[in-house]
Chain A
């Protein structure tokens, strides 16, 4: 785990030392949605670097391209142009199966709407990434440990509709963690929660970073949440806004 580098350090030096352990290196990303005649430029030449162990929040007005960027970084979608290296590997050259593999092993997703499988126990939900990773050894045990880590050791057999919103999001966190990904991406993880459970979730995510060095990227509209992360990136009109 690379220690956080204070902004006072010479930027050039910092970039040299940081390059050794970049999780995300994106250059000139563009994303164009074609809607019939109209072209929507969701990303306009955006570049971003994220170091291992970093906690970063992404802010910006609605429609500025935050989710588009998250989907691109999470390999759910391909950029229209630009380069993207995840753990030093070029994502642009990967085929669909390789992308599926990257999503499985390197990215942990946390969604605003939790996105758990209905009618499926918490344990089975957390096991899912392990299944797609073809890991058969002790799947149940690994999933159970992940649920214990988010404080749900006594809710293993509960279905999503038998859990509170905060608990569901914790199951989602356990699921994101279970394959030891290179980074966790959370798109408005507290958007559907009241302030108390939202606060709990934030504390849990930050604790995971402190204790395990998990790299975190959090999209949020809430300045209070942004304040709690060391790095805040603001996006405006598909580009990173200069301060």
Chain B
């Protein structure tokens, strides 16, 4: 019997048992949909995180305190450390140094109140992080020296407090109860990523040190952002900074009390984390596909037993072992292929839904359905159908015609 015929016969017998076929297909649909959706969400998270990190810039270094655990007397990073890095003899590859502190605070104005991210910076932060303003001006050296109570608002904060994103310069807001004069407004970045860059306020570092973000060590900073001359100069700059800090903190090589990250480090870490996440999600989904496959095998075995007489009859009418085998394999792979196709559609719908939910809650994950994951799911579900159909099909094909015909 030719293959087209086998397909027709298989289709006929599947149609004869519509409900059962549908339920069997459902197992595969769920499995494949899970694989597709999980991989898509995993990849979406990956690309969002990667995008956020890439937005940082390739020539920046981030120096943070804390390093290997066996340092006897770890010292925090201070403003003085940041100043030392600006020495163009000790650090010729460094073109910008921006010490900063981070925290959060409650900003109020005109009876409105919002909680927001607080960044305490020096004037160099502007060029180093490419800060752009729609109006007003950035924090100046004078602001830092005089510990001025001035603030730059993110667009979301301005909207929250004043209901508008223009003409807010000159207004007064209160941060944790203390009055600050608004001197500038940030350009909107569109609120993407896990930390919304539009929902923050920027104040002078010294003002924050004395009024908002008090730390145990005076002059302590949370992080020093260092701009290298170019992305090629990043390793060189990293070496220079490390040498300066080791000298100042009097630590030996291999026992640093600070850590220098660059963009690539962040990317590597993120890739490792999201990679594990994606594999984990995909693995969980693959298990459900496996369960779907066992469902196929179960149904096919029941079907073989139920149709023993039919198989006997077909053999009596001249069906060869191969014909029966192909018929049952065609049935099982048709079930799984149909399940695979429906599963891809369902998985795509789930991905879109997840994307919409994520967007609604401001975590901008765009699920990415790759051609490879579609192919993978299709091939995998076909393979599941063939693999789990093989045993029942072989059992059917090996039935002795007389025995099968006599079966009640």
Which residue numbers of A lie inside 8 Å of B, CB to CB? Answer: 71, 74, 76-77, 96-97, 100-101, 103-105, 109, 111, 115, 117-120, 124, 128-129, 131-134, 136, 175, 179
Does A96 lie within 8 Å of B320, measured CB to CB?
yes
Using A103-B401, A132-B314 as known contacts, list a sample of 13 further A-B pairs with CB atoms less than 8 Å apart, ordered by residue number in A: A77-B400, A104-B317, A111-B405, A115-B405, A117-B310, A118-B16, A120-B12, A120-B16, A128-B317, A132-B323, A133-B318, A134-B1, A175-B317
Bound together, the chains give a CA A115 to CA B317 distance in angstroms of 11
Does B5 lie within 8 Å of A117, measured CB to CB?
no
Does A105 lie within 8 Å of B318, measured CB to CB?
yes
Does A115 lie within 8 Å of B309, measured CB to CB?
yes
Chain A residues with Cβ under 8 A from B16's Cβ? Answer: 118-120
B272: CB under 8 A from chain A? no
Q: What are 7 A-B pairs at a CB distance below 8 A?
A: A74-B316, A96-B320, A100-B318, A119-B16, A129-B318, A132-B319, A134-B1
Chain A residues with Cβ under 8 A from B372's Cβ? Answer: none
B200: CB under 8 A from chain A? no
Please count how many residues in chain B sit with their CB below 8 Å of the partner chain's CB atoms.
Answer: 23
Does A100 lie within 8 Å of B319, measured CB to CB?
yes
What's the count of A-B pairs with C-beta under 8 Å? Answer: 64
Chain A residues with Cβ under 8 A from B402's Cβ? Answer: 71, 76-77
Known contacts A76-B402, A76-B405; A129 and B317 CB within 8 A of each other: yes
Q: Return A9 CB to nearest CB of chain B, in Å.
A: 36
Bound together, the chains give a CA A39 to CA B29 distance in angstroms of 52
Indicate which residue in B310, B316, B321, B323 contacts A109 across the interface (CB closer than 8 Å). B316
Nearest 7 A-B pairs (CB), nearest first?
Answer: A104-B318, A132-B318, A119-B16, A100-B320, A77-B402, A76-B401, A76-B402
- Proximity string of chain B (113-127) to chain A, C-beta cutoff 8 Å, 1 when within and 0 when not: 000000000000000
Chain B residues with Cβ under 8 A from A97's Cβ? Answer: 320-322
Bound together, the chains give a CA A237 to CA B317 distance in angstroms of 29
Chain B residues with Cβ under 8 A from A131's Cβ? Answer: 1, 5, 9
Bound together, the chains give a CA A5 to CA B295 distance in angstroms of 62
B70: CB under 8 A from chain A? no
Does A103 lie within 8 Å of B313, measured CB to CB?
no
Which residue numbers of B lie inside 8 Å of A, CB to CB? Answer: 1-2, 5, 9, 12, 16, 309-310, 313-323, 400-402, 405
Chain B residues with Cβ under 8 A from A96's Cβ? Answer: 320-321
Chain B residues with Cβ under 8 A from A101's Cβ? Answer: 318, 320
Chain B residues with Cβ under 8 A from A100's Cβ? Answer: 315, 318-321
Q: Return A135 CB to nearest CB of chain B, in Å.
A: 10
Residue on A with the closest CB to B403? Answer: A77
Residue on B with the closest CB to A72? Answer: B402
Chain A residues with Cβ under 8 A from B319's Cβ? Answer: 100, 132
Chain A residues with Cβ under 8 A from B400's Cβ? Answer: 77
Does A77 lie within 8 Å of B401, measured CB to CB?
yes
Q: Return A34 CB to nearest CB of chain B, in Å.
A: 14
Chain B residues with Cβ under 8 A from A118's Cβ? Answer: 16
Does B313 lie within 8 Å of A117, measured CB to CB?
yes
Bound together, the chains give a CA A117 to CA B315 distance in angstroms of 13
Residue on A with the closest CB to B309? Answer: A115
Residue on B with the closest CB to A98? Answer: B320
Q: Return A199 CB to nearest CB of chain B, in Å.
A: 26
Indicate which residue in A119, A128, A133 contacts B314 across the interface (CB closer than 8 Å). A128
Q: Return B355 CB to nearest CB of chain A, in Å.
A: 44
Bound together, the chains give a CA A69 to CA B318 distance in angstroms of 19
Residue on A with the closest CB to B4? Answer: A136
Bound together, the chains give a CA A134 to CA B3 distance in angstroms of 11
Chain A residues with Cβ under 8 A from B313's Cβ? Answer: 115, 117
Chain A residues with Cβ under 8 A from B405's Cβ? Answer: 76, 111, 115
Chain A residues with Cβ under 8 A from B401's Cβ? Answer: 76-77, 103
Known contacts A77-B400, A120-B12; A103 and B5 CB within 8 A of each other: no
Residue on B with the closest CB to A102? Answer: B318
Chain B residues with Cβ under 8 A from A128's Cβ? Answer: 314, 317
Q: Return B57 CB to nearest CB of chain A, in Å.
A: 69
Bound together, the chains give a CA A103 to CA B320 distance in angstroms of 10
Interface centre among B310, B316, B322, B400 (most CB of A within 10 A): B316
Interface centre among A132, A133, A175 (most CB of B within 10 A): A132
Bound together, the chains give a CA A96 to CA B313 distance in angstroms of 15
Residue on A with the closest CB to B321? Answer: A96
Chain B residues with Cβ under 8 A from A119's Cβ? Answer: 16
Bound together, the chains give a CA A76 to CA B318 distance in angstroms of 10
Indicate which residue in A103, A124, A134, A136 contacts B317 across the interface (CB closer than 8 Å). A103
